[in-house]
Structure 1
Amino acid sequence: MQRRLVVMCMGLVSLGGLAGCSKSKQQEGSTPAATATAPAAAKATAVTIAQEAQTSWIRNFNPLLASSSSRWPTRAGIYEPMLIFNVLKADYVPWLAEKYTWGEGNKTLTFSLRPGVKWSDGQAFTAKDVAFTFELLKKHKALDLSSVWAFLEGVQAKDDATVEFTFSRVFVPGLLYIAQQPIVPEHKWKDVADPVSYKNENPVATGPFTEIKVFQNQVWEIGRNPNYWQQGKPYVQSLRFPAYPGNDQANLALLNGEVDYAGNFVPDIERLYVSKDKENNHYWFPLVGNTVILYANTTKKPFDDVRVRKAISMAIDREQIVKVAMYNYTRPSDATGLSDTHNSWRNPKAVESGDWVKFDAAKAGALLDEAGYKRGDDGIRVGPDKKPLRYDVNVVTGWSDWVRAAQIIAQNLKQVGIDATLKTYDFSPWFERIQKGEFDLSMGWSSEEPNPYYVYRDFLGTETVQPVGTVAARNWHRFGHKDADALLKAFEATSDPAEQKKISDQLQVLFVENAPVIPLFPGPSWGEYSTRRFTGFPNQDNPYAKLTPNAPPENLLVLTEIKPKQ
């Protein structure tokens, strides 16, 4: 999620208006305009980062929770995985492990760990820590965010430098889930009574940043790991995080030169940001983020009806959303729901058959009529139970690009007789609702993992379906299809690229037929940086990794390369 801060209301107003732009109480009232000239560069000691929108900080560094439930960069900066998949290079980068090997017909996976790695308290990192971490996931299902124990049979430390995973079935895609799992130290976690609720306020970890120097409601700072395994790294002394409750404050800080590194949506960024300091202010928004989705809760009527889901989709004017809410940084999604990360996998036949992503209010109305939802005297449709189609569209307060998109969606749905109302929540309650399936319609995101298997496992697989009220790291809409299960299992069993492509094509067709979620647009991979005080950031000319801080564990590749400006 690992999602980013967002847009400035004043920027939207200046470029065409944002009626009803959502603000928290801290944002109400006037906001000073951004200064045209940035202040003089301060001594380069702490990189100031804007990645999370929070009114105040909660001290939680539990890396076994979903990214958005603990402070960034807990899962990829404080703690670390064995390997990192670099999306731009389409390859694994060795990290806590130096290599991996498959055995026994792809039913065992063995990692050879990097020698000389220590925890930040000086104790040795060993294969026992890896095995212990995965046993924790087995014991506490709420921590098994990728459902690894649905395909694992066991894990064993063969010696201090070797850990072996035994699979209950052939599951080649499981490499990603295992390789990128943050590892915790057994000697610190073995006596934790409840690792699900554990806040881990003073982390002991292997990452480049582990020492909590300051933790206050409005700012916190984390310093270098004194025992980090990459000699000489990190190059910077610390990371600093002011609390920005919403878009105005976060973006003013960015525009005023107070933020060095961010993952924000900024409207008209060339004018509002780059032009303020053309030498130092930079951004990079490749379309390799996840797809932005409108989730419909399929456990509730009428969203359990594919005709209703397709009608809602056809009622949405994606071109308007892209132009007005997204400043043309992206484009409307096709019906596969895939982002540009998966361009080479895209099935043209599935794309062509997915007419339900095309804006057509008349067809949307006809489908709703067919499904039995007729307009009442007030224009609002009612079902066979005589209940009106009246729903909230949930979105995060302060994520103003999404807020504006949700406003457009609500307006579009009203035109076809669905009384949709924008409902904003602070991030934490919004995230809890969508994870527990306690919503009607909600903005959200998809997987941005290496190939379509992962996307469709989340969208279509029964294995990831959790009961309403139970936290689900994936499949927030609670939809599963047995035909998808068979295709997913076939994909899991083969490492043949041609066979994988064939299966992916079939998954795309199944997705288009069932419309389990409503894709809106491929999400740009948001990233901004200033070189006034620090350098070493990736960009279009040096794409060693994604710039965005919103895609753990890849941001580790950036955090270990940033340097003070000489």
Structure 2
Amino acid sequence: MLREILVNAGVSIALLGGLLANAEAPASPSTTIHKANSIAMHGEPKYPKDFQHFDYTTTGAPKGGTLVLGVQGTFDSLNSFIAKGVSADGLELIYDSLTEASADEPFTRYGLIAEQMIWPEDRSWIEFVLRDEAKFHDGSPITADDVEFTFDTLIAKGSPTFKTMFEDVASVEAKGPHRIRFTMKNTENQELILILGSMSILSKQYWHDRDFSKTTLEAPLGSGPYTVAEVESGKTIHYRRNPDYWGKDLPVNRGRYNFDLIEYDYYRDATVLLEALKAGEYDFRYERISKQWATGYDSDALRSGKLVMKNIKHEIPQGIQAFILNTRNPLFKDIRVRKALNYAFDFEWTNANLFYNAYTRADSYYSNSEFAAHGMPSEAELALLNPLKDQLPGSVFVEPFELPTSKGDGRNRQALRKAKQLFSEAGWTIKNNVLTNSKGKTFTFEFLMFDPSMERVINPFIRALKRLGVQASIRKVEISQYINRLRNHNFDVVVSRIPQSLSPGLEQIQYFHSSTSDQKSGNNLAGIANPAIDALIENVVQAKSREELVVSTKALDRALLHNWYVIPQWYIDSHRVAYWNKFGQPDITPKYDATFSETLNTWWYDPKKSAQPAKQ
């Protein structure tokens, strides 16, 4: 599910409208038609029709105060839907979607703009019945025309991701001012009706005389809990809570969005960013770097208890963080070369010497989840893999996938010998201390990066590669250039994370499918174009039950792993957060909040806490 990933995203139905919904359904009399305010990918939703709030919220949470967040980088646009510019953080706060996800279920959507959803058992279409009271910030109603306009605009002018995501939609039709139907080309993509509900809805009237394809610093019109209050390009953006927000009392929103003002302040330098937290310049930090977590937070504020550090366990699939090899580069076409590079990376030494043994090695594209393929394939997996036997590495069928390991003492000779052997088998030999092929081409490539924190990981890797005759170097660029180079596939190797959800599906096409291998601004960074992978992705997308989904995803995981497209790095199964002790928090933390953003939206400012806010 592309959550986190890239999308943030009735009139109450009259008696006659309810009858028409059945009359217009393109299904046989025996087909079950569902009508509900929620829909789950598999099984039934956790919360009943008349639920009052999510379990991880506090309905009596007070409103008020300011939350200041620090961000590394810059921005030059408030249009987060297009593949141009660098959009500001937090823009999802100004938009509402048709439905809202819960953070304590694998993949369930509850009505937000949509009061009700109507769909047949086979999910060949879905109708969203919009609420009478749903309004944009200017007071204009949200209508079916706005939803249709949003869909058409995202397909025609939005990021290419939207076109891929929604390619199985056959038609969109407004059935009235507050009812809209999406009809599918087929019934294979079972999650599509849920994903459609996650679209952030745009105002047709607002955009009719504006160019959606261009970047802008004009505050867009939304309908969500916040509005843009202040913008200074590349430096700061402020969002103000809308006291007249139409959806503030809905069950999906109770206990959420409690801060009057949310500020994002931008910093160019990672070191300055951390020091600014300790100085009280901003309030909350999600830590991703283990060395900083172990050594970087020592301060008077921490010792006094004004600054809090906390590890919060979660049950979220971690996907895979890795060195992504751009297989569009002829250097990385040969699977033996990709495998050799894996043998040159010493994770155990890196973890012990750089990360205080804080991490677990990522040995799956679906780490920390039931979808990870460990051991030998099951009979159910083999039923999917065997028809593709001629297109998959033979190792898929005869051995478990295993990454090379070391003792962590820096003496990784055995692995380097194996790497040298693999390079030799691929036609690369050392001449004058440089790895060279029969055509005289040397094995030379760059690690592209913008965050200097990864240099301490990459430099030892470069030294190991040099022992093999590989000439590797670091190319550090500013973030906007980095983004543009990724969009245009102008890189050799990057460090990136491929996130995964609790219900893998359509986003697998974006990550791994041949159709996205040459897509500009896409997420298939490795440039994977493999018909066997394509077929296995189809099984994932078409899974009709949780059991089928697990089997299909494990089979896909095996195929990806045994092709050695990436050099896996590591993951951690907890959130590492640091914050100034001035917030109230619910008793329950949602276990499936991948980015911690949903959790933070349930916190509130508590003036009785010991740490007074710097910008209150």
TM-score range, shorter chain: 0.7 to 0.9
**Deviates further, 511-520 or 79-88:** 79-88
The reply to whether residue 49 of structure 1 matches residue 69 of structure 2 is yes
Distance of aligned partners of 1:123 and 1:254 in 2 relative to their CA distance in 1, 3 Å threshold: same
Residue 269 of structure 1: aligned partner: 293
Task: Give 2:402's match in structure 1, choosing from 336, 346, 355.
Answer: 355
Deviation at 1:143, TM superposition (A): 4.5
Opposite residue 376 of structure 2, the aligned amino acid is: K
Opposite residue 360 of structure 2, the aligned amino acid is: R
What is the CA–CA distance in structure 2 between the aligned matches of 1:160 and 1:560, rounded to whole Å?
33
Residue 103 of structure 1: aligned partner: 120
Opposite residue 78 of structure 1, the aligned amino acid is: I
What is the CA–CA distance in structure 2 between the aligned matches of 1:497 and 1:295, rounded to whole Å?
29
The reply to whether residue 77 of structure 1 matches residue 93 of structure 2 is yes
Residue 339 of structure 1: aligned partner: 367
Structure 2 matches for 1:199-278, cutoff 5 A? 199=216, 201-215=218-232, 217-228=234-245, 229-231=247-249, 234-266=257-289, 267=291, 269=293, 272-273=296-297, 275-278=302-305
What is the CA–CA distance in structure 1 between the aligned matches of 2:416 and 2:335, rounded to whole Å?
17
What is the CA–CA distance in structure 2 between the aligned matches of 1:127 and 1:284, rounded to whole Å?
44
Deviation at 1:369, TM superposition (A): 0.7
Residue 534 of structure 1: aligned partner: 583
Opposite residue 130 of structure 1, the aligned amino acid is: V
Q: In structure 1, the residue corresponding to 2:360 is in which secondary structure?
A: coil
Task: Give 2:446's match in structure 1, choosing from 381, 392, 403.
Answer: 392
Q: In structure 1, the residue corresponding to 2:458 is in which secondary structure?
A: helix
Task: Give 2:482's match in structure 1, choosing from 430, 446, 450.
Answer: 430
Q: In structure 2, the residue corresponding to 1:355 is in which secondary structure?
A: coil
Opposite residue 46 of structure 1, the aligned amino acid is: T
Task: Give 2:192's match in structure 1, choosing from 157, 168, 174.
Answer: 174
Distance of aligned partners of 1:547 and 1:513 in 2 relative to their CA distance in 1, 3 Å threshold: closer
Residues 306-326 of structure 1 show CA distances to partners (whole Å, capped at 9, x for unaligned) of: 111111112111123333444
What is the CA–CA distance in structure 1 between the aligned matches of 2:348 and 2:124, rounded to whole Å?
46
Q: Indicate conservation of the 8 Å contact 2:103/2:593, yes or no.
A: no
Task: Give 1:373's match in structure 2, choosing from 407, 413, 428.
Answer: 428
Residues 513-548 of structure 1 show CA distances to partners (whole Å, capped at 9, x for unaligned) of: 222233222266655242533333x7xx62126677
Deviation at 1:223, TM superposition (A): 1.3
Residue 326 of structure 2: aligned partner: 297
What is the CA–CA distance in structure 2 between the aligned matches of 1:277 and 1:119, rounded to whole Å?
45
The reply to whether residue 409 of structure 1 matches residue 433 of structure 2 is no
Task: Give 2:551's match in structure 1, choosing from 484, 489, 502.
Answer: 502
Q: Indicate conservation of the 8 Å contact 2:446/2:473, yes or no.
A: yes
Structure 2 matches for 1:447-458, cutoff 5 A? 447-453=499-505, 456-458=508-510
Residue 310 of structure 2: aligned partner: 283
What is the CA–CA distance in structure 2 between the aligned matches of 1:87 and 1:271, rounded to whole Å?
31
What is the CA–CA distance in structure 1 between the aligned matches of 2:215 and 2:87, rounded to whole Å?
11
**Deviates further, 203-212 or 319-328:** 319-328
What is the CA–CA distance in structure 2 between the aligned matches of 1:268 and 1:262, rounded to whole Å?
12
Distance of aligned partners of 1:112 and 1:544 in 2 relative to their CA distance in 1, 3 Å threshold: farther
Q: What's the TM-score once normalised by structure 2's chain length?
A: 0.74
Q: Indicate conservation of the 8 Å contact 1:61/1:70, yes or no.
A: yes
Task: Give 1:159's match in structure 2, choosing from 148, 151, 176.
Answer: 176
Deviation at 1:442, TM superposition (A): 0.9
Residues 116-163 of structure 1 show CA distances to partners (whole Å, capped at 9, x for unaligned) of: 222112211223222211111222263544712321112223234433
Q: Indicate conservation of the 8 Å contact 2:311/2:574, yes or no.
A: yes
Residue 209 of structure 2: aligned partner: 191
What is the CA–CA distance in structure 2 between the aligned matches of 1:361 and 1:456, rounded to whole Å?
33
Opposite residue 72 of structure 2, the aligned amino acid is: A
Q: In structure 2, the residue corresponding to 1:367 is in which secondary structure?
A: helix
Deviation at 1:440, TM superposition (A): 0.7
Task: Give 2:357's match in structure 1, choosing from 313, 321, 328.
Answer: 328
What is the CA–CA distance in structure 1 between the aligned matches of 2:359 and 2:194, rounded to whole Å?
27
Taking only aligned residues, the RMSD between alpha carbons, in angstroms, comes to: 3.1
Distance of aligned partners of 1:460 and 1:171 in 2 relative to their CA distance in 1, 3 Å threshold: same
What is the CA–CA distance in structure 1 between the aligned matches of 2:371 and 2:601, rounded to whole Å?
29
Distance of aligned partners of 1:224 and 1:171 in 2 relative to their CA distance in 1, 3 Å threshold: same
The reply to whether residue 306 of structure 1 matches residue 342 of structure 2 is no
Residue 604 of structure 2: aligned partner: 562
Q: Indicate conservation of the 8 Å contact 1:345/1:452, yes or no.
A: no
Q: Indicate conservation of the 8 Å contact 1:294/1:444, yes or no.
A: yes
Deviation at 1:253, TM superposition (A): 1.4
Task: Give 2:562's match in structure 1, choosing from 509, 513, 517.
Answer: 513
The reply to whether residue 89 of structure 1 matches residue 136 of structure 2 is no
Q: Indicate conservation of the 8 Å contact 2:327/2:333, yes or no.
A: yes
Deviation at 1:292, TM superposition (A): 1.1
Distance of aligned partners of 1:285 and 1:301 in 2 relative to their CA distance in 1, 3 Å threshold: farther
What is the CA–CA distance in structure 1 between the aligned matches of 2:482 and 2:574, rounded to whole Å?
22
Q: What's the TM-score once normalised by structure 1's chain length?
A: 0.81
What is the CA–CA distance in structure 2 between the aligned matches of 1:503 and 1:77, rounded to whole Å?
35
What is the CA–CA distance in structure 1 between the aligned matches of 2:475 and 2:348, rounded to whole Å?
23
What is the CA–CA distance in structure 2 between the aligned matches of 1:278 and 1:423, rounded to whole Å?
40
Opposite residue 509 of structure 1, the aligned amino acid is: R
Q: Indicate conservation of the 8 Å contact 1:108/1:167, yes or no.
A: yes
Q: In structure 2, the residue corresponding to 1:89 is in which secondary structure?
A: coil
Percentage of matched positions with identical amino acids:
20
Opposite residue 513 of structure 1, the aligned amino acid is: H
Distance of aligned partners of 1:543 and 1:114 in 2 relative to their CA distance in 1, 3 Å threshold: farther
Opposite residue 332 of structure 1, the aligned amino acid is: R
Count residues with an aligned counterpart.
Answer: 507
Opposite residue 337 of structure 1, the aligned amino acid is: Y
What is the CA–CA distance in structure 1 between the aligned matches of 2:592 and 2:136, rounded to whole Å?
27
Opposite residue 514 of structure 1, the aligned amino acid is: N
Opposite residue 305 of structure 2, the aligned amino acid is: K
What is the CA–CA distance in structure 2 between the aligned matches of 1:560 and 1:205, rounded to whole Å?
21
What is the CA–CA distance in structure 1 between the aligned matches of 2:116 and 2:605, rounded to whole Å?
28
**Deviates further, 157-166 or 523-532:** 523-532
**Deviates further, 476-485 or 447-456:** 447-456
Residues 28-64 of structure 1 show CA distances to partners (whole Å, capped at 9, x for unaligned) of: xxxxxxxxxxxxxxxx7321102x312x543x21131
What is the CA–CA distance in structure 1 between the aligned matches of 2:219 and 2:600, rounded to whole Å?
24
Residue 61 of structure 2: aligned partner: none
Deviation at 1:441, TM superposition (A): 0.9
Unaligned 5+ residue runs, structure 2? 6-63, 378-395, 407-414, 609-616
Larger Rg over CA atoms: 2
Q: Indicate conservation of the 8 Å contact 2:340/2:420, yes or no.
A: yes
What is the CA–CA distance in structure 1 between the aligned matches of 2:138 and 2:551, rounded to whole Å?
49
Distance of aligned partners of 1:219 and 1:513 in 2 relative to their CA distance in 1, 3 Å threshold: closer
